Every structure is written in structure tokens, then in C-alpha cells.
Amino acid sequence: ILCRHAKRSTVTTEDVKLLARRSNALLKYITQKSEEITASNMKQKEKKKKKSSAAKEGRTYGEQEEAVTESEDSNMA
């Protein structure tokens, strides 16, 4: 009902907080869990960035090795 009224197809944490605003304990709990999930997601994104940057550096190093090997092969011919 809430999504149709807002003409959206997904419910956000802000929508849930809006519904729970009359119960202070529930609102605090939802806010706390939302912040925990957000922090967890940020940590995962940082790990992915580190892995992807390490993989890119590894590929760059591997490409350099291939170029050196090819130039050595052409020098031997």
C-alpha cells in the first residue's frame, strides 16, 4: 500500500522507519540494524575494491612479463 501510494516498487529503510515512528523502541532497533547493515556493506565494498585493485596490479605485472618474454623470443630469432 505504501509503495503504491509513493508510486515505487520497493520499500526502503526510511519507509519502515516511518511506519515504526510511534514505537520508540522499535524505531531505535530498526535504526540500529539499518546502520549495522550499512556499515557491513561499506566494509564489503572496500574489500572488493582492494581485491579488484590487487587483481588489476597482478594482471599488469603478468602482461609486462609476457611482453618481456616476447621481446626475448624475437631477439633469439
- CA 64, distance to chain mean position in Å, is 30
Inter-residue contact 27 to 20 (CB < 8 Å): yes
Per-residue pLDDT of the chain (77 residues; tens, 9 = 90+): 566 666 777 888 888 888 888 899 999 999 999 999 999 999 998 888 887 777 776 655 445 455 455 545 554 54
Predicted confidence at residue 58, as pLDDT, reads: 64
Predicted confidence at residue 42, as pLDDT, reads: 92
Inter-residue contact 2 to 19 (CB < 8 Å): yes
Tally: H helices and E strands in the chain: 3, 0
Predicted confidence at residue 16, as pLDDT, reads: 85
Three cell numbers, residue 58 = 597482478
Question: In 10 A of CB 25, how many CB atoms?
Answer: 8
Which domains does the chain show, CATH number per domain?
A: 1-43 (1.10.20.10)
